[in-house]
């Protein structure tokens, strides 16, 4: 079914009206129809990530950043600058603690947007046809990184398997670089080198970008 933005706005106005039992004149025919579709659901008792913080893996940070915790000494970590003064750092953490329920603490908290409300459509050029690309060969270390990331996204529902897509783009893994360090080479020379802080899994959309 297609979304009805005008109807959704009218329904929202009715709910925000001071007297919900008396819909506006232009909503009399619309509101009852929508209310019939409402279902009574049992309230969920799942505790939020703030009430029961999960244990997270703290990754290495660039030299100018550090972790701060909004709960105890090891829970609800946030990343802040090391260059902040004590007063600014204290004020920042106080603000973050007062709004910690507004922060997404794990991937499963990211609910996304209902496609009935809003969807994104990629417009392709007329003379382009779908491209199916094979996955590139990667070494075992990178393969494990990609596998763990895909499993993590599948578990929280951010991605889902599909077998009939006309477009297939390869998965790519690039290093996360943070700051520089000095490494001594074979000739005892000091060479500035970027530090690799981890790996980022992404999709190679070159073919798709060419078609849009």
Tokens (6 digits) for 46: 């799942």
Contact between 78 and 96 under an 8 Å Cβ cutoff? The reply is yes
User: Residue with structure tokens 């520089």?
Assistant: 180
Q: Could you report the per-residue pLDDT of 138-170, keeping only the tens digit for each?
A: 888 888 988 988 888 888 788 888 888 888 888
**Residue 48: its pLDDT value, please?**
66
Least confident of 47-56, 133-142, 183-192: 47-56
Six token digits for residue 80 = 């802040």
Cβ contacts of residue 7 below 8 Å, gap of 6+? 30, 34
Q: Other C-beta atoms within 10 Å of 53: how many?
A: 19
pLDDT at 6: 52
Q: What is the pLDDT of residues 51-95, one digit of tens each?
A: 677 777 788 888 889 999 988 888 889 999 999 999 999 999 999
Cα 157–chain centre separation? 11
Q: For residue 168, give the nearest of 207, 138, 114, 196 by alpha carbon.
A: 207
Full DSSP string of 88-149 = HHHHHHHHHHHTGGGS--SGGG-----TTT--------TT----B-PPPP--HHHHHHHHHH
Tell me: the pLDDT tens digits for 108-128? 777 777 778 888 888 888 888
Question: How many percent of the chain have pLDDT more than 70?
Answer: 75
pLDDT averaged over every residue in the chain: 76
Which positions ≥6 away from 14 have C-beta within 8 Å?
A: 20, 23, 24, 27, 31
Question: What's the confidence (pLDDT) of residue 34?
Answer: 46
Q: What is the mean pLDDT of residues 130-140?
A: 86
Region label for 112, one of left (φ > 0), alpha (ψ between -120 and 50) or beta (otherwise):
left
Alpha helices in 18-116 (DSSP H): 31-36, 86-98
- pLDDT score, position 86: 92
Between CA 100 and CA 109, with CA 103 as vertex, the angle to 5 degrees is: 125
Residues 39 and 127: their CA atoms lie apart, in Å, by: 47
Alpha-carbon separation of residue 127 from 78, 122, 140, 210 (angstroms): 47, 15, 39, 11
- pLDDT over 80 at 14, yes or no: no
pLDDT at res. 68: 92
Mean pLDDT across the stretch 29-51?
56
- Predicted confidence at residue 208, as pLDDT, reads 86
């Amino acid at each position: 079914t297609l979304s009805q933005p005008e109807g959704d706005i009218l329904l929202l106005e009715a709910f925000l009206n001071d007297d919900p039992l008396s819909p506006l004149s232009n909503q009399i025919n619309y509101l009852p129809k929508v209310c019939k579709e409402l279902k009574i659901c049992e309230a969920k008792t799942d505790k939020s990530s703030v009430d029961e913080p999960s244990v997270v893996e703290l990754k290495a940070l660039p030299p100018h950043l550090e972790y701060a915790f909004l709960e105890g000494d090891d829970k609800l970590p946030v990343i802040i600058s090391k260059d902040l003064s004590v007063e600014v750092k204290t004020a920042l953490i106080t603000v973050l603690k007062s709004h910690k329920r507004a922060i997404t603490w794990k991937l499963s908290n990211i609910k996304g947007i209902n496609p009935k409300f809003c969807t994104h459509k990629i417009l392709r050029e007329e003379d382009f046809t779908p491209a199916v690309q094979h996955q590139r060969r990667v070494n075992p270390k990178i393969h494990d990184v990609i596998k763990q990331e895909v499993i993590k996204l599948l578990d929280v529902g951010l991605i889902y398997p599909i077998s009939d897509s006309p477009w297939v783009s390869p998965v790519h893994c690039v290093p996360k670089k943070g700051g520089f360090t000095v490494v001594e080479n074979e000739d005892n020379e000091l060479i500035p080198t970027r530090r690799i802080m981890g790996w980022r899994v992404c999709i190679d959309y070159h073919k798709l970008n060419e078609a849009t």
